[in-house]
Structure 1
Amino acid sequence: MISTRVSVIVMLVALVNGARNEDDIQPCAKLNTSSSVVPLGSPVTATCVIREDCPAFVGQDVHIEWRLEDRLLPSIPAANQSSRVSEVVIPSFNHTRASLTCCVQASPAQVLGGVEIRAGYPPEAPQNLSCQTNLTYPNTLTCSWDPGQQETHLLTEYTLHTEIWDLNKNYSYKLLPGVHRYTIPRSDFVLFSEMKICVKAVNELGEATSVPITMEPISAAKFDPPAITKLEAVPKKNGCLKLSWRLSQHQSWMRSCRLNLEVRLKTADSSEWSDHPILVSWIRPSRPVDQCRLLHGTQYLAQIRVRYHQSPWSEWSSNQSGVTLESAPAGRLDWWMKVSEDHLQKQLGIHLFWKPSKQFRANSRNVSYVVSAQKLPGEKGKVCSTTEKYCTFQAPRRANKVYLSAVNAAGRSTPTEVRILLPKARAVISDVSAVPHDNRSLLVRWSSLDSSGLTGFVVVWTPLLDSDLSLTQFEITARNQTSLLITGSFEPYKPYGISVYPRFKDGIGLPQTANAYSRQKAPSMVPKIRVKKTWQLRIELTWDELPLDQQNGIIQSYKVFYRNENGPVSVVNADPEERRVVLKDLSTESPYEAFLMVSTSGGSLNGSTIHFGIEPLDAVSVVMIVTASGVALSLLIIVTVMTCFSNHRRLKGRFWPAVPDPANSSIKRWTSQSTQDTHLGSDSEEPNPMYLSHLSFLDLPVKPGKEDDDPWLSNAEDTSDLGESICGSPFTPGYSGSNSDSVTYSTVIFNGPCSSPTAKTPHVYLRSESTQPLLESEESFTPKCYQNMATGGMTKGQCFFGPCDDCVPEEAADPPILWNDFPFLRALAMNDEKD
């Protein structure tokens, strides 16, 4: 674009300044500037002069104007000059490249001359010059640098200069524009001779040279990764490995060089290399190196790298493994146990788990463990021997400790004393939770109550989908700790059971358990919905529990979405523990469809859709509903009436008369010896009820010489008659029960001697027609003589039960007793035919 603009300016100038013939071509105007290349932002001055004899302007007054690109600049007439001379000053040239022209004011303006001005910065000195030697064929020396932070906006050339002092040779290498890296061929340098290297930058505004570096090419060489040929144990030195190594094939000729070597190690079961590699200085290639102070009987992996003096380190070599010499295990083992009591066998069932403590050293790759009842080693007290880190065994209830030892080919560790801690029914832990911290760890938190004798806690975790006891892991914490970050190979979307046990001086308390996932996602399946029952306008839906291996997380919620054909979608949340919902206020007009959504914190999954409908109520349902409502209303009225009138004694006696019950009367208490002293103090006293399961009909014959004995208390098998046989029975026709309008009753006592306090006026007992119970109104339970009363008055008394002062023997001519007038006595009648 710029070159096009310049060509246009030249063509215009040629047209204006053209002569009459080709032999006399002279410009009509001359334009001079201070410089065509200036520093960016500096002032620029330009002058334009028009010849007096220019044919285009002979005899004319001209007015010169200046333009920078398309912008008009104010001109300044030159002092003591005609109007054909003009000058312009640009105080700050801020363009990297622009065209300045002088024109004659006309329509259109005529260009008389022009010039292109470029602006920029002088180059900076190159920075960070460095060189690296490549010892792999072909050998080269590559140098690179930074051109600087500031853009010059001008074409800048770089030249690499080298000087070999020993050979007194100089070399220069010119680079292409924009290239800041150059590779020197092997013929232009010597590996073990020092050389001086620098870079020069040049443009139209100036030049700059980098800080020179002096180096020996071999000291800038980056070696190929070396190789470890062998890593083996040092004989008779525990914890030492001998490392043999060599350079790569391309650098094997450098056997006489002294190099620096770094070694890094890690155990075979570790994922991280040692933080600080071991430095071995000034070592010749292929010379073995001993590495000591290592763990005994442990497999190690080793890597090495090399460099010459301060040259860059080579890449790390490939791994090589070696095993140190074995020695007897050292240190103690951490343990915990679960104990269950078998009361029938009088044995303790023990699950013992252990793991190496921070101070434990197995000192061997092949370690087994022995649990023994004796501290000294031997086969007699051995409980179990295993290569696992757990043991299940039984012990007598009186056992209080066992001993745990680690064993390898070199010996046995000092036994760790394991106290048998019995389970305690003490709960001091609550609010156990476990949340993922990252993909390889879980953060466990719990709350603890203050408890005397608490020594700490045991956090145990195990996969719930695998019952292998070897996968059980545990960690012991202090008593004042309420959180723990547990790490391990936790599989995503798999459940883990985490339990926290309180540990006391004399036992292990009750644990609290929580399930946890390192990562969660949506469940793998959704249980199928079933219709359990339907009633009125409701329906109950249920489903089975989702299998644990399909949950992929902790179930947060169950949601049932349902709708009919014309209605909106409704949602019902279900309790994750109940797994049921009741849909209410359904319509019978159209069928419904529903599906279940199961959610975890990692996502949700929808189940299949089911269809169901609500049947309208039929005649039978209506009748059942009305009947049930009527029965419920009747019961409510009855209960209400009974409640209202239960405190009204008169109404109660009116509608529900109190009928005496001989089975619950006080007659049970009457004996021949206590009859005289039995009485009621007042009407307010209630007799102690005596409940009889049945009424016995006894024949009580009077034995000679036994009149004074109490037949009720006697243990004799045969009984005597109760006076005379009572004819009549409640099972005979004509018996009047308690449902009659008047209740007939009388006092019944046992046959035997009866006495009453001597009274001046004998008591007379009559058959009563009263509806009130006589037993409640009697003043005394002492049996009295019953007297038959004649129509006109009392003529003679008859004593039916016991002697009395008022009674006279019944005469033969007296009329017979009317037993029908005494229905209760008639019920006690005995058949005399037995005699």
Structure 2
Amino acid sequence: MATFRTRWLLSVLLVNLWNYFSLAGPPVPPSRPKCYIPFDEKTDSVDINCSWETRPDPQIPTNYSLHWEPANTEEGHGISGTSLNGLIHRELFSNHGELRVWVQAKNQHGSAKSEEAVFNPADIMKPPPPKIHLSHQDTLEIEWSHPCDHLQLSVGPCRVQYRTEADQVWFEEKVGIGSSYTFDSPQPCTVYEFQVSCACGTGLTSDWSASLRIRSTEMAPVGLDIWQDCGTSPASFDCVLIWKNLSVSQACYFILGYEVIVSYKNGTAMLVNVSATEPRGQLVCDELQCQFTSSLKDVSSVSLSAYNAHGTTVPSYLATPIQDIEKNEQDIHLKMDEEYLTVSWDLPSQLSDNLKEYVVQYKQAGYPPGQGFDWIKVNKSQTTGIFKGHFKKYIPYQVSLFTVSNSSKFRHLSSAIGYSLQGTPSGVPSFKVYSIAATSVTLQWEPVPLLKQNGVILYYQIGVDRQNVYNVSASPQHENRTFELPRLSPGQEYEVWIRAVTVAGPGANATASFKTKHREDFDNLILTLLGIIILVLICCFLYSVCRGENKVCPLVHPCFNEKVPDPRNSHIFRQMKHQINDPLAWICIPVYEPHPKISLLEIVEIQPRAFKSSLEKTSDPEGLTRLVVGDGCTQFDCQDDQGEDAVIAECHRTDHRFGREEYSKMIDSDEERDKQQQEEEEDTGDCWSSSEEEPFPSGYEKHFMPTALEVLEV
């Protein structure tokens, strides 16, 4: 440990020694001396003042000595000291002839000599500075007394320099041998400083005079630079009027207020006087800008003037046809860092005669109106605009280009997003599966919000794994934000991801899981639907074929056949009782049932024993006598009360002819059977006509046809 410390101390000592011996040596030679004789009106005995420059070493003491001698002799004199100036007294030199003057520096390591200055003492006479004063306030004219006049010397040229109070650089002009100067085109309400320096016919030029401060005449402030702030959307209706503050010289120190004339689209106008001292919420100002807080919605144009104690500015006019703003027509190019924003565009092939200028603006995203906003106006022949400011990292700035016509109407050309420094974006806020198929899936997502993009998003990447990655455009035209992921396997689970990409790289991933459908499920669904369709078609065909008489399809369910009338429905007979004596009974139609097929039954009041004996005597194989007298009509129901009694009495006399007919013969569905029945009734003159009888009814007829007792009960 001690060895390491010793080595370290030795190395430090060697370095110090090296620096000492490398710096040690003769001093640096001083500069050539500058000498002059200040002219004194009181005496001619004036010393020569000389000065020089050098770089003395504070660690090594250095002495300086001023030496002079006549140019034609070797007799010299000198003085020594440590300062950088010296005096040659009047008794030590002559006004006639030249002098050689030099400076010598000396230290413990050696000495160095400056270059010699050779001059005639009569040529280094320096007159005193002139005294200046203001002549005219309106034109800023100054005058001075020439110093050479008092010295009774010939007058030489003079110089004037000036600057504003806010500037640090002097501007110089030569004015010749005159003793006055007039400043052209001064800015109103501006403080200027003036200085004058003169020379005589021979000798040096005098030092600058003391500064003369003059304030230019106060007048009405100059016109305002106005524009509108619509946020990050140039086509927005929610805009505010904004203008740049006037400098002290432009405003003539104090702006008392503003006059705003607002013209609306409906033809009305409104004058608003806004006080600068008591704005009452109508005016918001900072160091650079002011804004009129009222919205410009439904406004066609705005006129703005500022006024002070001396007058009002020329109105600044701005037309705001927001509804006429067109889509982007011209691309703009941005070059941006933390200090500068450069916007460039291509000059149109043909400039419009109505084009006045370009306006370039930027708006920091997320800021309210009037903040993070600036604009510049560019001559119509230029294609570049430059902003100087502090632009934050990873923050989007909306840059827009406009054209302004001679009538102060503007049109939006193009917009772009710029970043002073770009980073990786955040993840998408929403990512989901929109629809699922067997071999593909449709994905849907929401774009990354502007304030979280951290840069210009070039595209979105969607993938299932590292091999299957798709790049999807992030352009505004791709508004639906959907993507179909192809070439998937049926019935398989997947995890898909999405991320945004900038020049700084990809951002965070957002994932979603899903399972594709089975292909056989889809096939089975198709087969099932086809089977149902075929079955429905078969049923419809059978129904259309078998809806006729049951003789065509005797095995079909009865629901496909026409309804069989049930004689027990006694209301049918009651409704038909008024149609017995109607000669057109064959065209009667019942009220509640369409075209019923019924037969007239004979009512025989006999005892059960007599009924049985009558059945035994019956030899008609067909059963009951046919009772139908017309298609769909019965004599029993079509008669009135008197006719009904007569028919019943007549029918009692023909009991021996009572019988039952087969049920298939009881339903007369064609006109021939009706006609035949009418002929038989005319021949016999009886209520019943039958040619065949049978002792007992069939089982089918017994089931459906009522007995005489059942009819009487009705």
TM over 0.5, shorter chain: no
For the aligned pair, the TM-score class normalised by the smaller chain equals 0.3 to 0.5
Of Structure 1 and Structure 2, the greater helix share is in 2
Query: Which TM-score applies when normalising by structure 1?
Result: 0.38
Q: Considering Cα pairs closer than 8 Å and 6+ residues apart, tell me whether 1 or 2 has the greater RCO.
A: 2
